[in-house]
Amino acid sequence: MKRTTSFFLGILMMAVLCNGCMVAESKYLTKVNEAQTLTDENTSLKKQITTLTEENASLKKQIETLTGQRDELDKILQAKTDDLSRSVAENRKKIADLEAENTKLKENLAQLKQKSQEVEAQSNTYKDLVQEMKSEVAKGEITITELKGKLTMDVVDKILFASGEAKVKKEGLAVLKRVVDVLKNVTDKNIRIEGHTDNVQIASSLSKVYPTNWELSAARALNVTKYLQEQGIDPKIISATAFGEYQPLADNGTPEGRAKNRRIAIILLPRD
């Protein structure tokens, strides 16, 4: 009986011990598997890290390359911008210069047109005077010249004045009236009336009125000027001056020369 009991107890102990061994081994295998899994995961993560590190290095290199390219492009763009700015500035200056030149050309053209109109108007006045006074011109009593914008009509004294007189005679007024008919159309000139004489001294009978040829030439110029004003010529554009014997046209040593020097000059001058 005792042997039987001992046998069963031995068997029971062995069963208990075996069961404990199986439990320990199962836990061990589980831990081993977990460790292997962690090792595998760690290895995978290391590979990923290596891959990402390589990719990061590649990206850094690409960034450096792109940054360099960007900086180079920035330099090129800045150079192009500077060139464009200089080009724009140069073109603006050229445009300004051309505009200034164009303005100057327009002004010159306007001046030339005005000058052309003035020349044409003076030429017409010259032609009208020559036509109106052709009889006197043919006789040599009136000389009409045109030079450098100045038109001059020299009228010998004998058709305007009696000898030694300053008052315009009737026949002279008729001549001046024909001159006025032409001069009324002149609006862009000043008119200067000049009195001239020869060098013969004033006769004693007239010396109280005209002490010298200065006074005689001045009185004659003034009387012609007043008549032009009375006939409608604007007094603002008329002036009278006297030269006496000091601006002769011909030699005072001959009768013919003295006759030419005794004259009234009606001169059309450009306005200032």
Q: Are residues 52 and 108 in the same domain?
A: yes
Residue 178's pLDDT is 96
Q: Are residues 138 and 265 in the same domain?
A: yes
Q: Are residues 228 and 202 in the same domain?
A: yes
CATH number at residue 186: 3.30.1330.60
Query: Could you list the mean pLDDT of each consecutive 10-residue stretch along the chain, which spans 272 residues?
Result: 62 63 75 84 84 83 85 84 87 91 90 77 85 92 92 96 95 96 91 97 91 97 98 95 97 96 96 80
Q: Are residues 108 and 208 in the same domain?
A: no
Q: Is residue 30 part of a domain?
A: no
Q: Are residues 140 and 259 in the same domain?
A: yes
- CA distance linking residue 103 with residue 245, whole number of Å: 50
Q: Are residues 167 and 240 in the same domain?
A: yes
Q: Which residues make beta-bridge pairs with 155?
A: 142, 264
pLDDT digits (tens, 9 = 90+) for 180-214: 999 998 888 999 999 999 999 999 889 999 999 99
Residue 8's pLDDT is 61
Q: Is residue 84 part of a domain?
A: yes
Residue 54's pLDDT is 84
Q: Is residue 24 part of a domain?
A: no
Q: Is residue 32 part of a domain?
A: no
Q: How many Cβ atoms sit within 10 Å of the Cβ of residue 192?
A: 19
Q: Is residue 2 part of a domain?
A: no
Query: What is the domain extent for residue 227?
Result: 133-270
- Contact yes or no for 235/229 (Cβ under 8 A): yes
Q: Is residue 73 part of a domain?
A: yes
Residue 76's pLDDT is 86
Q: Are residues 58 and 147 in the same domain?
A: no
Provide the number of structural domains found in the chain: 2
Which residue, 270, 170, 264, is CA-closest to 225?
Answer: 264
Q: Are residues 100 and 193 in the same domain?
A: no
Residue 78's pLDDT is 86
Q: Is residue 266 part of a domain?
A: yes
238-244/263-270 β-pairing: unpaired
Q: Which residues make beta-bridge pairs with 266?
A: 153, 193
Q: Are residues 70 and 147 in the same domain?
A: no
- Of 82, 117, 152, which closes a domain? 117
Q: Is residue 38 part of a domain?
A: no
Q: Are residues 188 and 102 in the same domain?
A: no
Residue 52's pLDDT is 78
